[in-house]
Chain A
């Protein structure tokens, strides 16, 4: 196959994926660009309550469409992002947020990666230091053996 036609085939293939990607959200973009930006941001960080591992921006189910409408209308009504998140959390619980909030209950969740890294560093440092002590400082014995 020539480079040209295979490149064309690839383009067609990729275009097919593009149509899949835009099919979900059927709303017209908000007229105000900043508002549309906020809308996209919020819908990509809220969890669809029915198909629980998708964002409401990606989910094709009707509840997700209702949630998108809710976010849209709240933005147009002049609510802040925080107010919109709070409103949804009061009905669906913190579960609806993909990004957990900073709270006493969630502290471990947020700190765990840092803590694990720290523990790993300490353990690694200790191992390296101990190994360094095991190395013979004087390797004349080795040299002796090599000569024979």
Chain B
């Protein structure tokens, strides 16, 4: 092996390693967030009793047939949801599409009290007491917000608080593409 190679080979190897790590870091800015395989797929069934009256059942696919809607997963045990709440109230006024709330693994009375105190941004609220529907939707932590198009396909998903900025950057452009 020539003298030059003895320096160039390890140096080249090191450069490759650096390149690999840089690419890896750039491509995973938020590696704790699971990219949902459900984005771009038809929304799973969502048939649940409402929070206000358990004898009334809502089928999301039927209720929002042919229109855009947001599904917001929350719970009174979820601290982040409290921070998110004002943004949802704002969206109710400005977004122009209904928000379906899914109260996840929660106590109904506490949840009703929460909405009375903080205001109700939802078109309807359903209760997923056992967490079965949440599993079908691939929910792994509250709050989570899904955007569903008029064909019933999940267009995007936000894990964590909704904010006006997220709405404008991540959600709104997807709706405007269609117009």
Main DSSP-derived SS at the A contact region = helix
Interface string of A84-117 (1 = CB under 8 A from B): 0000011111010000000000000000000000
Determine which of B38, B130, B136, B140 lies in contact with A50 in the assembled complex, contact meaning CB atoms within 8 Å: B140
Q: Which of B32, B44, B137, B141 has the most CB of A within 10 A?
A: B141
Q: Which residues of B contact A92 (CB under 8 A)?
A: 34, 36-37, 138, 140
Contact residues, A54-83 vs B (CB, 8 A)? 62-63, 66-67, 70
Q: Which residues of B contact A62 (CB under 8 A)?
A: 105, 131
Q: In the complex, A62 Cα to B132 Cα: how many Å?
A: 12
Q: Which of B36, B37, B38 has the most CB of A within 10 A?
A: B37
Q: In the complex, A145 Cα to B134 Cα: how many Å?
A: 83
Q: Is A37 engaged at the interface, CB distance under 8 Å to the other chain? A: no
Q: How far is the CB of B57 from chain A (nearest CB, A)?
A: 21
| B34 with A91: CB separation less than 8 A | no
Q: Which residues of A contact B140 (CB under 8 A)?
A: 49-50, 63, 92
Q: In the complex, A92 Cα to B137 Cα: how many Å?
A: 9
| A49 with B37: CB separation less than 8 A | no
Q: Which residues of B contact A50 (CB under 8 A)?
A: 140-141
Q: In the complex, A89 Cα to B139 Cα: how many Å?
A: 13
Q: Which of B134, B136, B137, B139 has the most CB of A within 10 A?
A: B139
| A63 with B37: CB separation less than 8 A | no
Q: How far is the CB of A121 from chain B (nearest CB, A)?
A: 16
Interface string of A11-49 (1 = CB under 8 A from B): 000000000000000000000000000000000000001
| B141 with A89: CB separation less than 8 A | no
| A89 with B37: CB separation less than 8 A | yes
Q: Is B135 engaged at the interface, CB distance under 8 Å to the other chain? A: yes
Q: Is B56 engaged at the interface, CB distance under 8 Å to the other chain? A: no
Q: Is B35 engaged at the interface, CB distance under 8 Å to the other chain? A: yes
Given contacts A66-B131, A89-B37, A90-B37, 5 further A-B contacts (CB under 8 A): A63-B139, A66-B134, A70-B135, A90-B38, A93-B37
